[in-house]
A and B are shown apart, each in its own frame.
Chain A
Amino acid sequence: MATIPQKIVHQYLRHDKKFPHVWCAGCSNGIVLGAIIRAIAEMDINRDDIVMVSGIGCSSRMPVYIDLNTLHTLHGRSIAYATGVKLYKPYMKVIVITGDGDCTAIGGNHLIHAARRNIDLTVILINNNIYGMTGGQASPTTPHMAIATTAPYGNIEPDFNVCNLAMGAGASFVARTTAYHVQEMQKYFIEAINHPGFSLVEVESACPVIYGRLNKKGGAPEMMKSMRDNTIPLAAYEKLPKEKTEGKTIRGILRQEVRQEYCAAYQDLIKRVNVKEGK
């Protein structure tokens, strides 16, 4: 008997005293949480073997709702905590939930170094282009000239391309999708969790209450439509003429390659040392 999706989600949530959640109506975070749960359920991983780590921000509140080993840490530091967990128990699946400000501003250093080490963490970066929890300040992914409460005359700073940043730092799996493309998102999560190395999935998300309101992007449905209409799959992007792809964000697996994973490299080091020591 097939399990209905809602029931699966239900099975993975923590029910006593963790709800209602903190997210606004129309927020994409719940959609991402649902996709993560369905991915985990589909992969059928023992949930005792999964650690979900997060930092500070709207998206980082996610771990409290899900019945896994959960670690809600300091602003920007989730990847550093996750590195400690993973290195000590390499067999565990470590998933980091983070936002654009958490991961690329205050936590940027940890992101690039974890990517460089190629440690087997799965970073799910929910990018809503703004600091939502604190009321709408500009983040490193706030688009140029967009309005934020700390950029009232328009953001004069260029924004990060998060996927390029991760690839430049050496991440071995990088994908981008949006909260509109739920099945694609779930598929990428599975790929990322299975990937033996550092993986990052950027999920464009809608923040209608803060970002949408400040920038007159309409409500949740309009922002969802915009994610549908203004993004384009990688395969199509490569085929279409330039004028048809201009201004569109690419979705897809942007990099997937295998190189030495850090915990495995460390285990090799231990073996090497112990051979030398004659053990």
Chain B
Amino acid sequence: MSYEIRLSGSGGQGLILAGIILARAAVIEKKRVTQTQSYGPESRGGYSRADVIISDTDIYFPEATNFNCLLALTQEACDKYLFDLRDSGILIIDTTFVKNLALAAENTYEASFTDIAQEKLGSPISTNIMSLAFLVKITGIVKEDSLKQAIAESVKPAFVDLNHKAMKIGFDLAKNYKK
């Protein structure tokens, strides 16, 4: 079983870090994993994506080509990658920025992650972790505890609490999600 995830948005949204954290959570669960990325020259703005493939067997091709799950934090990313989502794939969008869906995916989850982060944590900085936690809860691709541990291993000690808080909000959003 191989599971392909693409996290997409723009530079500065922390998607590559989110990809690394997800991959690290998979490592904690002793799964095979690859994490790749593509981004423009901008540190802030521009396009950015991170792919994570989690599998029980050897992973040959390291980029996601036919996603089981797509997280899109910007309209551009959503428009660009939506068509590579599998038929039964899960689409998660940040309605703060994604206003139009070119294609109605079967399993679409919508939440205004950036607004919620701003509102509940006082800054959009943790949108990446919040939406990742949401994704983890919805897909069940790694355990919640693994994600928690991966976050602790990946961010600076001073920011662990903030990110764990964001994670909790993401989990809760998913738990209480009504289609």
Q: Do A and B touch (CB < 8 Å)?
A: no
> B-side interface residues toward A, CB under 8 Å?
none
> A-side interface residues toward B, CB under 8 Å?
none
